[in-house]
Amino acid sequence: MDNFENAKKFDFNEFPGYQQAYVSSSVDIGKLRPNKSYDFLFENRDYFLEQILLENDGQIPEALLESIPCSLCQSNNSSFIMKKDGFSIVECENCSLVYVNPRLSSEAYEATYNSKNYGHIISQLALESHEYRKERFGVERINLINKFNQLSAKKTVLDIGSASGFFLEAASEAGWEAIGLELTESAVNFSRSRGNDVRQSTLENANFQEKSFTAVTMFDVLEHLPDPVSTLKTIHNLLEDDGLVYIYVPNWNSASRLLMGENAHFIWPTHHLTYFTPVTLTQALEKAGFQVEKIETQGLDIIDWLWQEETIKSNDTGFVKEKVDVLQFLVNSGGYGKNLRILARK
């Protein structure tokens, strides 16, 4: 009886993301990934690397690599986890951050994003699904920011890595002054054609003044950056007091990785340099001066796993498909969804 009474008094809010009632993920894969755009991504994602290997007898020249300490705690002690695409993924023995080491040098890394091939990937994946992403995800994201926003006098948001601008449009329609930063030219041109204020610049070169924004967002961006903690500190300076930062990154502790291993789609060492968990991303935010207010995970882990089983292994998955949404709900609620979402306050 004592245990039952304790259970009744337990505050489920202590478990970020926990949901006591079933909630459908309600993601239309056909609209999110039209015309086999996701297949195109995986067929072309390492074109730049393949060219390097072709020109260097299957090896990555040491001149294109750099070894780094852990970006979270600066330790040089790490343990090997796996190798993919010729790169080692390691875990810091001090703070448990997972990252690529050694990785492509800054010059080689920038070249991957300036390649026409990467531009084609963005065009295929993001531009064709723009309207759906705006209505399904853009609106959802700005609604959450509105829920936590305490600065009613000023509503300015900076979206770093704004892609097609679907979030910018949703934010503008919700009454926010929205500015985007994006490097891929095709995405910049598309976003501007729809009336968005987008700068083709890195955050470091954008020259914003301190306390310029009520909120800053980074959706699937932080994992790409060479020094994520430094970026978070820059964002901290750009925010008004009590301002919000809202971040999506791949979740290293996800069902995708547990089910698919190194074949998990987000393990992409030429582009994704750091792999966060709820613990390590919280530590990074706190180190930059933020206080975390909301953590949850969402994802398409089961769908991606089924894609592997069908496409790569030619397995029959019909019996699982009938329960995909329920299985994904359980994954999300348990904190194992592929997309780790954290909202924090300055």
Give me the CATH number covering residue 155.
3.40.50.150
Q: What is the mean pLDDT of residues 150-169?
A: 92
10 lies in some domain: no
111 lies in some domain: yes
> Half-sphere exposure of 322 toward its Cβ, with a 13 Å CA cutoff?
3
196 lies in some domain: yes
Q: What's residue 338's pLDDT? A: 96
| Residue listed under structure tokens 């329920």 | 326
Strands (E) across 185-259 are located at: 197-199, 213-219, 239-250
167 lies in some domain: yes
Of 64, 133, 102, the C-alpha closest to 273 is: 102
65 lies in some domain: yes
| Residue listed under structure tokens 């398409």 | 300
Q: For residues 117 and 124, what is the distance between their CA atoms, to the nearest angstrom?
A: 11
Look at 183 and 169; give whichever has higher pLDDT.
Answer: 169
| Residue listed under structure tokens 């704004």 | 162
- In this prediction, residue 292 has a pLDDT band, given cuts at 50, 70 and 90, of very high
2 lies in some domain: no
Q: For residues 297 and 93, what is the distance between their CA atoms, to the nearest angstrom?
A: 25
Domain hosting residue 205, numbered range: 35-302+331-345
Number of domains in the chain: 1
Q: For residues 325 and 27, what is the distance between their CA atoms, to the nearest angstrom?
A: 9
pLDDT > 90 in the chain, percent: 64
- In this prediction, residue 10 has a pLDDT band, given cuts at 50, 70 and 90, of very low
Is the pLDDT at 32 greater than 60? The verdict is: yes
Q: What's residue 74's pLDDT? A: 96
Q: What is the mean pLDDT of residues 64-73?
A: 95
Q: For residues 70 and 227, what is the distance between their CA atoms, to the nearest angstrom?
A: 10
Q: What is the mean pLDDT of residues 190-196?
A: 95
Q: Render pLDDT for 229-274 as a digit per residue (tens, 0 to 9).
A: 999 999 999 999 999 999 999 999 999 999 999 999 899 998 899 9
307 lies in some domain: no
Q: What's residue 66's pLDDT? A: 94
Q: Render pLDDT for 111-147 as a digit per residue (tens, 0 to 9).
A: 766 666 666 666 666 777 899 999 999 999 999 999 9
Query: Helix or strand or coil: residue 27?
Result: coil
Is the pLDDT at 8 greater than 60? The verdict is: no
Query: Helix or strand or coil: residue 303?
Result: helix
State the average pLDDT for the chain: 87
Q: Render pLDDT for 42-51 as a digit per residue (tens, 0 to 9).
A: 665 666 676 7
Q: What is the mean pLDDT of residues 33-43?
A: 62
280 lies in some domain: yes
